[in-house]
A and B are shown apart, each in its own frame.
Chain A
Amino acid sequence: MTDLAPDTILSVRDLRTWFKTKRVTAKAVDGVTFDLKRGQTLAVVGESGSGKSVTSLSIMGLLARPGAIESGEALFRDSKGAAHDLARMGPRGFRKLRGKEIAMIFQEPMTSLNPLYTVGDQIGEMIALHNDVSRDEARKSALDMLRHVEIPDAANRLDDYPHQMSGGMRQRVMIAMALSCNPSLLIADEPTTALDVTIQAQILDLLRRLQEQFGMSILFITHNLGVVAEIAHEVVVMYAGRVVEHAPVVPLFAKQKHPYTEGLLACTPNAERDLDPAGERKALYSIPGTVPPITNLPPGCAFEPRCRYSISACTKVPPQLEPAGPERLSRCLRSAEI
């Protein structure tokens, strides 16, 4: 707990979050490790069910039963420099941190905004909760925040209800609320997935500029590698509850060291690559099969049944996450040959 590097704001270490019922144990997150550096964006990418949201909910202390942290640490350094283990923090501790030091935005802003209050009141209340300010001051800060997130005609939108806004505007309001207390860590779980690509580009651009301005660190969860390329400094790729690859963003896109990451990138249609000069379509690369249920993983590498590099050793023991070049890790027996 004391060995949290000074430039690290969040250090998740061998985190295991399981859903235990009488019948089965779903190891949704099973030994996840990564560090998020101050002022940077770490993207967690993976397909549906890979454990991205459970990882972030564990860090935020928002797990619902029967989900519980089985073991591991999630060390967080607050703005005063004190370290906390979020994996062992109780509800009272979280109440002090959440909103103020750590904030979160989700895929569907409508579910986290209250439909009965105006957006100005909701942001104002958030500010008043964490700061000793008058109503008027809170309202003024709320307006400032709406301007920061570039809501056009902000003064007039302050009294709008969430349903009067478009999906993109609501996501801006969520970001305004999240940043209103100047958190040092922002957790964003698929904040652009429900939006059009045009609006997605606006929100990603906004987050990048707000990060420069406010200096917060971002844990960004997504299933879209295009989005990762736009926003991340570092990338963690998850598959079936585990990290399978971890690398800085540029080297990762230049060369993948895990067959799953390689497959994910190859699956995205790309006309330059997938059409021949006569315009004839080549078959798209696709990863055969589907993600296995986490309650019934193969005994060796979880990706083995779908992997085109698989050898018999892959079916025997689960591979470890090991160095695979400068600053990067891969969980694959054959990463050196890929």
Chain B
Amino acid sequence: MAKEILAAQNLIKHFGSGDALVRAVDGVSLKVNKGDLVLIKGPSGSGKTTLLSMLGGLLKPTSGTVTLLDRELTGRNEGELASMRSSEIGFVFQAYNLLSAISVAENIVFPARLSGQSMEKARERADHLISRLDLSHRRDARPDRLSGGEKQRVAVARALINDPPIILADEPTGNLDSQRGLEVAMLLQEIAKEDGRAVVIVTHDERIEDIADHILWLEDGRLRDRKAEPHEWARDPVCGMRVDRWVATSSVRYDDKEFVFCSERCREKFLTEPNKYLPAT
């Protein structure tokens, strides 16, 4: 049986209260195994970042649990969480988040300093990662001199420096052109498949879907597994356009059937004269 790295049980995160209550994540359970590459997708504001930051011990859930390598994150204090973040989780962000004052090589070893590792070992690992990620010619450069793709490769190297069992990435290709985006995606796949790490990626990027083992669809803070049936096509009865049921934003139940529409306009048209659009039976 595949080794379980990360698990979440009924995770809930609510912001605010009363009328302003936002159910950013609303009862999510998931498991990520060694070597798994899991995508989390969903419309903007569906709670992807909120979920990822709870998985990474950056945000305390309102309720529910997160378990990393059989150790529960929930209920730990700030110091313990920080130490787990530095040594057991690798983060990759859309905005790269490199430290601007220090060189590529120093950025890469930064988490090793935090986790109190032997610096000699860390430097060896950094050298290895620098050549693996094709950054040798850039090792002494400051981050502001790098291209986007290079920056993200530095961020990936930094995420790997402490040899964490899991990588969490929020829109890692979001700021990159399609070529560089693809390279970073392939890199993350390699990290999952060859290194045997668990990799969780939040993304809007369609092209990454092909390399994923699982795609989780998050909507209004709730999850659906979509890998089995990536799309469920239906026809908009008004205009006849093909619409994916999983993503459709307007729908209506009529006559015990669910109809989906390409737009709110079509839905309104349908509601004024349903019979006109009903398929002949």
Q: Do the two chains belong together in a single complex?
A: no
Chain B positions near chain A (C-beta within 8 angstroms): none
